[in-house]
Chains A and B, each alone.
Chain A
Amino acid sequence: MNIDDDTLIAYLDAQLEDDAAYEAVEDALAASPALRARLQTLAETGELARQAFDAKLEEAVPPELIAAIMNAPLQGAEEDASSQERAGTTTSATDAGLAHAPARPADAAAAQPASGRPALAPSSAGSRQGATRPSPPGLGARLAAWLGQGFGGAAAFASVVTLALGALIGHYLLPPAELAAPLARVGDTIRDPALAMALQAAPSGVVLDAGGQRLEIMASFPAREGGFCREYTLGSTSSAGGGQQIGIACRTPAADANWQLAFSAGREGDPNGYGTASDRLHEAADAFLGENVDGAPLDAERERALITRGWNAD
C-alpha cells in the first residue's frame, strides 16, 4: 500500500479514521525502512515545533491583559441573574476596542453596601447553573504554573496572618476535584488557579463561576502594614446547601508578591441554605479586617488602577 505524508502525519496525530487505517500504516512501516525514516523525521520536527513555543505557554500572562479582559463589560442580554448586579451598566460593549474598558460603578456599589462592610451576594444567583464545562485535563496545573510564576519568590507576609481565627471558627472546605491546586491554609500562598487569577485581576463585585464553584471578590482594603487585602466568598454553584467559605487574601505591594491566605472560615453544606452560621463567619471576617486593614474598602477607581498595575504600589 502506498502511504503518503498526509497519512503518516494523520497517523502521528492519531487522526486516522479507524483501526484498519492504523494497521495499514503499521504494515507499510514494517515493510519499508524509508517510510520509517520519514515517520521519524516527521515526529522529530513536529516535536521541535511544539518545543519552539513551549516557553510561551509557561510564561506569566501580563496582568494588564488579564485585567483588560476581566474589566470588559458583558452584553446585558446575555446575562440573567448576575445582570442585576450590573444594572446601570450602560457602557456599550462595542466601544471596548483595545483600551481598558471602564470599571462598572454598579459592581463596586454592590460590594459595598451602606452597612460599611461587604455583604454576601444574594443567593438568587444560584439559578445560573447547568452547563458548566470542565476544564481540559492538565489545564488547571498549567494555570497554576503560569500564575505562580508571575507572583513567585515573595517574602512571607506572616505579620498579617492570624492563625487562630480560622481554626477557631471552623474548618477548611475541600475544593472540588476540578481544582488542581492543593488546599490552602492560612499563611499559604494561594495556588488555586481560579482564585489566584480572580484576586489578581477581578474587580470587586464580579461573580465568577468556575469548576463548580461560585467565587465573588467582595472588596479590597489597604493592609495596615502595607500592601492590600481582598475579601472573597467561595461557594458551590450546584445547590444552596453546598457550603460556603469566606477568605481574606493579602499581598505586599512588591511586584513579585504572592496573594497569601490571611484568614479563612467556612462551614459545610447546609440544606436550609444560608443561615445563622454565615453571620458568624462574617463577624469573624469583620474582626480580622478590623485588626488588619486600614478603614474603608478601596473605591472602584482606585481598585481598577491597582489591578491594572498588578497591585504594585504607586
Chain B
Amino acid sequence: MSQIRVHNVWMEYGDQIVLETISLDIASGAFVSVVGPSGCGKSTFLRMILGQERPTRGIITLDGAALPAEPGPDRGVVFQRYSVFPHLNVLQNVLIAFEFAESPFTAKLFGAKRKAASEKAEALLEAVGLSEHAWKYPSALSGGQQQRLAIAQALAKEPKVLLLDEPFGALDPGTRAQMHALIKPLWRERGMTVIMVTHDLKEAFGLGTRLLAFDRPRIDPQAPERYGARIIYDLDLSRDGPVPVLGFSRPIETSTVSQETKRSMPHA
C-alpha cells in the first residue's frame, strides 16, 4: 500500500508563493504525470514528496503517517541527471543499495553476503537491460543507459513510491520510446505509486493513469509573486475512452475584495 494524501499544502519562499492550496489523494499504485509550464512549481511539488523540502503549510501523508522531513528508502527517485555515482561501476551502483542496508559501519559487503547481494543486483540490471555493461563506469554509458541504471538503483530498495523528475527529458526520441516501454511494465509488476514530472505531453498522457496540470490561474501584475500555482487540471486517464475525463476537477473558489487586497499587499 502506498497512498499519498496531500492536504492544503502551500509552499512559500519568503514573500513568493510557489504553490497554494494543493490538496489531492493519490491512490496506491497510480501512475501520476505532472505537467505545467517551467517554474510553476511541479519540481517543488516532487521535492516535497521526496522530503527534500518541507511545505510551508499543510501536511503530506504516506499511508496515513506524516512524511518524514528527509529523503528515505520508502521513496525512490530518478533525476534528469547526476542520479548515478560516477566513482562506482554499474554493478556497484546497484550493489551499494544493499550494502547500505546490511553493513551499517563499513557499507561494504564481503564473501557470501556480497555474493547474494550481487545476484539481486544483477537481476535488477537484467530487468533494465544493462547486464552486459555491469563492469563499465557510468561515464562510459549513453544517456539512456545511465537512466536505466538510475531506475535499477531506485528499484533496489523496492520503494512504495517512485518519483521521476523529468527522467527522460535529456534523451533522444528513440531512446525515450524505449524507456517508456521499460518503465510501464516495471510499474505494473511492482505495484508502486509513480509520480512523474515531465515537459512532454505525449509522454504524460501515454504513461499516466492520471494527469495533473500545474499553473498559476491568477497573476496580479503589481504583485506577481503573491499568487502561486495550483492544480488546474486533474484528468483521469485510466478509463479506456478516446477523450480523457475530467475525473477530479475542482473549481477555483471565489474570494472577496478584502482577501485579494490582503494577499497582493501583505505589508500594507
Q: Do A and B bind each other?
A: no
